[in-house]
Amino acid sequence: MSYEEIVNEKFNKIKDKKDIIILGIESSCDETAAAVVKGGREVLSNVVASQIDIHRRFGGVVPEIASRNHITAIDNVVNNALKDANMTFKDIDCIAVTYGAGLLGALLVGVSYAKALSFAKKIPLIAVSHIKGHISANYVASKELEPPYMCLLCSGGHTAIIKTDDYDKVELIGSTLDDAVGEAFDKVARVLGLHYPGGPEVQKLAESGKPTIKFNKPFKGEKTYNFSYSGLKTGVINYIHNNEEKGVEINKADVACSFQETAVSMLVDNVVRAAVDYNMKKIVVAGGVGANKRLREMLKEKASKKGIEVYYPPLNLCTDNAVMIASAGYFMIKSGCSLAPIDLDASSTVKIV
């Protein structure tokens, strides 16, 4: 039997199983990750090899270095994920790999490894969008969570509002017209002389500051669910440069706090308004910026006033991991997805929905 015939036959057998066991593989940016997840929600193992310390000295992720480090790490990461789950490849029903969005060279490492594994061990393979993964982290964190809900996607690469009526019935109702919110956090961190990744550093510095500086918000008076962060980023850069030129010393903590307050309130205002407009009783937060303390605080406060419940993954599932990829793979299978072809390619961009 050919590879295709074997994996198709296996896939048909596991589709209706409740407790499908999926090996997730993720390598889209600077984390090499593998995880084993049962039934889409139960974590059997979760291994993440972070390259943050390597990239920190360059002030951001260097794509070529990321790819090289994924190559050295991936075999151990996958084997450790199996070991931690007390399993061998024979126990794995399906492999789910991130094919996009992200750094092409980095993605290619995970995709090539997963394809080779699928071919050698004859395990069905599915291709998962990194964005779907971030959203799915919530199904692992909150066992009872089910659609419908309004999703706020806020990561380093995307900022969007996704109306989610069912697992496979989603609609993009707002997105950023320029920078992603995480990108703005990282750029502001850089001009403030903070380390990469900028988000957690800005948050830390903001704790000792006050929101004394007024930065403009976009779309004044317009009823839109879209976002724009390039104006805010430029506002912060101009504020710093203007004061530098005048020889006035700036209070960096106040700048961080004022920026964070503005950036976060834009996310909160839009998603709460969207939830109210569409009569959704749940808001689900996805992506790295979802780890932000002030976002969590402000969203909880504003949403609870409208009787809306807010869901977040724990911090370790907010940022990149493979649990979320395995979980998204499970819900894709349940929604009738197809197997990935053996010539599956990586893609630097994917459609949000």
User: What distance in Å separates the CA atoms of residue 98 and residue 114, rounded to the nearest whole number?
Assistant: 9
Find the binder of ligand KG4 among 156, 174, 209, 329 (CB under 6 A).
156
User: What distance in Å separates the CA atoms of residue 107 and residue 99, rounded to the nearest whole number?
Assistant: 6
User: What distance in Å separates the CA atoms of residue 112 and residue 97, rounded to the nearest whole number?
Assistant: 10
Distances (CA, A) of 303 to 48, 151, 275, 307: 32, 13, 9, 6
| Site for Zn ion contains 31 (CB under 5 A) | no
User: What distance in Å separates the CA atoms of residue 348 and residue 353, rounded to the nearest whole number?
Assistant: 15
User: What distance in Å separates the CA atoms of residue 218 and residue 226, rounded to the nearest whole number?
Assistant: 10
Interaction mask 16-45, ligand KG4, x per CB under 6 A: -------------x----------------
Shortest distance, position 288 Cβ to Zn ion, whole Å: 6
The pairing of strands 42-50 and 149-154 is unpaired
Interaction mask 288-317, ligand KG4, x per CB under 6 A: xx-xx-------------------------
Shortest distance, position 292 Cβ to ligand KG4, whole Å: 3
Find the binder of ligand KG4 among 40, 174, 200, 235 (CB under 6 A).
200
Say whether 187 sits in a helix, a strand or coil: helix
User: What distance in Å separates the CA atoms of residue 319 and residue 79, rounded to the nearest whole number?
Assistant: 22
Q: Please provide the DSSP assignment of 250-311 as one string.
A: P-HHHHHHHHHHHHHHHHHHHHHHHHHHTT-SEEEEESGGGG-HHHHHHHHHHHHHTT-EEE
Q: Is 209 left (phi over 0), alpha (psi -120 to 50) or beta?
A: beta
Nearer to ligand KG4, 197 or 209 (CB): 197
| Ranges within 117-176 binding Zn ion (CB under 5 A) | 155
Q: What is the token pair recorded at 288?
A: 């790295």
Nearer to Zn ion, 136 or 262 (CB): 136
Distances (CA, A) of 46 to 23, 24, 35, 249, 333: 10, 9, 4, 45, 21
Nearer to ligand KG4, 123 or 302 (CB): 302
Nearer to ligand KG4, 124 or 235 (CB): 235
Residue corresponding to tokens 């889409």: 40
- Binding partner selected for residue 199 from Zn ion, ligand KG4, none, CB under the kind-specific 5 to 8 Å limit: ligand KG4
The helix (H) or strand (E) run that includes residue 172 is: strand 169-175
Find the binder of Zn ion among 320, 322, 344, 350 (CB under 5 A).
320
| Site for ligand KG4 contains 197 (CB under 6 A) | yes
Cβ neighbour number for residue 117 with a 10 Å cutoff: 21
| Site for ligand KG4 contains 185 (CB under 6 A) | yes
Nearer to ligand KG4, 124 or 290 (CB): 290
Interaction mask 243-282, ligand KG4, x per CB under 6 A: ----------------------------------------
Shortest distance, position 151 Cβ to ligand KG4, whole Å: 14
| Site for Zn ion contains 183 (CB under 5 A) | no
Shortest distance, position 75 Cβ to Zn ion, whole Å: 22
| Site for ligand KG4 contains 203 (CB under 6 A) | yes
| Site for ligand KG4 contains 199 (CB under 6 A) | yes
Nearer to ligand KG4, 174 or 287 (CB): 287
Positions touching ligand KG4 (CB under 6 A) are 29, 130, 134, 155-157, 182, 185-186, 197-200, 203, 287-289, 291-292, 319-320
